[in-house]
A and B are shown apart, each in its own frame.
Chain A
Amino acid sequence: MKSRKFLLNSAAHLVLAVLSLVWVLPIIFALLTSFRAESGSAKTYIIPKAFTLENYTGLFNVNVGGLNYSRWFFNTLLVAAASCVLSAFFILCVAYAMSRLRFTMRRPFMNVALILGMFPGFMSMIAVYYILKGFGFLESGATSLVALVLVYSGGAGLGFYITKGFFDTIPKALDEAAYLDGCTKWQVFTKITLPLSKPIAVYTLIVSFMAPWTDYIFAKVIMGQNRDYYTIAIGLWTMLEKEFIETYYTRFFAGCVLISIPISILFLLTQKFYTDSMSGAVKG
């Protein structure tokens, strides 16, 4: 019996070891390639012959006509910062109205939001593109970044479900007490609900902040061939296109590693705040 158990345990550990190797190897490959000194994509070996930091420093050297990683980084940072503030504002407003206020259009709005969410997101992209063009947002690169912010945050009000769920957990007794003391609804929202909602507010902010870093479709349609105003995701994709892949192959991996670090930290933060907010606003 004992030897059977030992065999089972060894087998389990062996399987886990093989599997985790499968899961870790691609990451190690990306890391190794990002430090590889020899350029070019096709190699007859996997482990680099020489290592260098040049792929990383090269990303930040502005070379005329080439691909400008640091510029993409700041484009994305700007768009992400602006759109996360706007989106979070929209989401918090709608979620509070849906959770705490009672008015005729509440149920219809929730149903409409549900239906709208079922259309493929980029189906309406062409129309959005022409609307933005009509308003003159796509004339120059700088205003098309503004357009991108509007695209990411314009419809954000529809994504209120998680935040509404959080507001629902705040006991209504708190509101009642405040009303008895003569508070207006606005005061209850700003002085009671919002201060209790820090985890969900931070969660909403980070989630909206991360969207522009990973979105590929909308950015590509709006920016087209305007490479100076690319965001990180389409920029990195461009590096793998035929005309760039030979020169930028190793730098592509360096760029991926660099971008993965802040995003994974943010991701871990969302997990923390998500679990915090799921445990409710008022403990005990």
Chain B
Amino acid sequence: MKARNSKAAPPDGEAGGFLTLEAIKNGDTITRLSLLVFGLGNLLRGQAGRFLLYIVVEVAYLVYMAVYGFQSLVNMSTLGTVLAGEEFSEELGIFVYTPGDNSMLFLLYGVMTIVITAGFLCVMASSLRSAYVTQKLQAAGFKPPSLGADIKTLLDQNLHKLLMTWPITGILIFTIVPLVFMVLIAFTNYDRTHQVPGNLFDWVGLTNFQAMFSFTATGFGRTFFPVLGWTLIWAVFATFSNYILGMLLAILINRNGTRFKAFWRFMFVLSIALPAFVSLLTMRTIFSNSGPFNILLQQLGILASNQTVTWWGDPMLARVMIIVVNIWIGVPYTMLTTTGILQNIPAELYEAATVDGASPVTTFFKITLPYMIFVMTPYLITAFVGNINNFNVIYLLTGGGPETLEYYYAGKTDLLVTWLYKLTIQEKDYNLGSVIGILVFVLMAVFSLLAYRRSGAYKNEEEFQK
């Protein structure tokens, strides 16, 4: 560690935030002017290469702002004023279609301009730091490094810049810009009656959030709270049923008296081999009205030959079936993960329990379960959070159905995320979808933070790396 630091001459990047403040305080006029004319300090102190890079970025940004950027920020605040319509053209003598403003694109471009501006501010701070570092180097009697030397540092003390640039560009375009855009949509009235192109939508503040929680005729509380309730019930049942049954199965297979352990394990692991969407679609077919399970029941004489059970038709039954199918899919995974941990439980605990005359059921509830829950809490919370967002199971099994008129475009088995999907993709109520997205985020953030803060990897990162 020491060897590396002493080699790196300019402390560039190590403490960027402090360095920027220090540069404003201690820098000379030229250094401070570098905030306005990027790279000025570098140019006057013999680093023409750096100056060129900085000034190109600055000019490009200013040109962009003058041509598009400033207007796009204005547009973002109004979200468009001109409605699409028809206008009489004197020249042609007919009515001509005029496109009008596109609020959606205005918002998108506005978000992009803000992100670009944030990048520009970073370059601005970097220009100041660079000028200050060069000023100090010159004062100490060193010759400032040339552009070639700068580029070489990208492979050494500035390697992080080389490695992070492309991944961060990807994250900006495909994660951050879309996410900011969708979060902003939650504060507009971009719903089915305000579709672009042709119509405009506008900022409405917190109205959508109020509507989501209100039980009045125009509110969505009557859909939101039942769906939220089922989401939580589903997450609890899906997580714990898989966990406890998987553990019991692992115990059953690993107990001393059981023979052909590898064979039993293979029989269960076989279902993992199917991709999840294949097993879900297969299960949907098996329990469909004319599916093999109904036929099996008919052949066994449990159902009359013309009688069927609509497994996905009744709300309560469909919910139970989803949890049962989820057990079928999830238990083999849990069996695999818990097997190793079960073998780590100290054998003395069990011996002591047997001496005291405890029954197998008592040992399970007093020793095995508490131990396993203690060890696997982070795993459980991750699984719980994953289940809140378990889109595939619901969407591929029931599609959220059975449909009901009590809810606003949601079925009785819809989770918040599948409801979000329906509202955005099918119903085009983007504002409501985005409100749900934000609420799901809050829900997940609470549980994930619990999990993450508890994990040793977060607390003792530096100690762990030897």
Residues of chain A at the chain B interface (Cβ within 8 Å): 5, 8-9, 12-13, 15-16, 19-20, 22-24, 26-27, 29-30, 41-46, 89-91, 93-94, 96-97, 99, 101-106, 109, 114-128, 130-131, 134, 150-151, 153-158, 165, 168, 171-173, 176, 179-180, 184-187, 189, 213-214, 216-217, 221, 233, 236-237, 240, 252-253, 256, 259-260, 263-264, 267-268
Contact = CB atoms under 8 A, between A and B. Distances in A.
A13 to B, nearest CB: 7
A214 B252 contact: no
Interface stretch (B32-40, B90-98, B132-140, B274-282): B274-282
A9 B257 contact: yes
Nearest to A187: B155
B466 A180 contact: no
Contact of A124 (B175, B279, B466): B175
Contacts of B277: 214, 216, 233, 236-237
A154 B290 CA distance: 43
Interface in B203-225: none
B-side interface size class: 35 or more
Contacts of B440: 119-120, 123
Contacts of A186: 155-156, 159, 162
Contacts of B237: none
B298 to A, nearest CB: 8
Nearest to B161: A103
B148 interface: no
Interface residue SS majority, chain A: helix
Interface in B432-465: 433-434, 437, 440-441, 444-445, 448, 452, 457, 461, 464-465
B420 interface: yes
Contact of B171 (A43, A119, A158, A264): A158
A151 B3 CA distance: 42
Give 10 nearest A-B pairs by CB, closest first.
A154-B174, A157-B167, A264-B273, A124-B178, A127-B178, A42-B290, A123-B437, A186-B155, A20-B267, A104-B16
Given A105-B16, A186-B156, A172 B452 contact: no
Contacts of A44: 295, 298
Given A13-B258, A94-B167, A97-B163, A123 B281 contact: no
Interface stretch (B72-80, B351-359, B389-397): B389-397
Interface in B231-288: 249, 252-253, 255, 257-259, 264, 267-268, 270-279, 281-286
Given A12-B258, A46-B292, A118-B445, A24 B164 contact: no
Contacts of B181: 124, 127
Interface of B: 1, 3-4, 7, 13-17, 104-105, 108, 155-157, 159-160, 162-164, 166-168, 170-171, 173-179, 181-182, 249, 252-253, 255, 257-259, 264, 267-268, 270-279, 281-286, 290, 292, 295-296, 298-299, 328, 332, 389, 391-392, 395-396, 417, 420-421, 424-425, 430, 433-434, 437, 440-441, 444-445, 448, 452, 457, 461, 464-466
B174 A150 contact: yes
A93 to B, nearest CB: 4
Which of A109, A123, A237 is packed against the most chain B CB atoms within 10 Å? A123
Given A116-B176, A123-B182, A154-B171, 20 more contacts: A12-B255, A16-B252, A23-B268, A24-B271, A30-B274, A41-B285, A45-B299, A93-B163, A119-B440, A119-B441, A123-B179, A124-B182, A131-B173, A154-B170, A158-B175, A172-B1, A213-B275, A216-B396, A233-B275, A237-B277
Nearest to A155: B175
A256 B282 contact: yes
B184 to A, nearest CB: 10
Contacts of A213: 275
Nearest to A160: B167
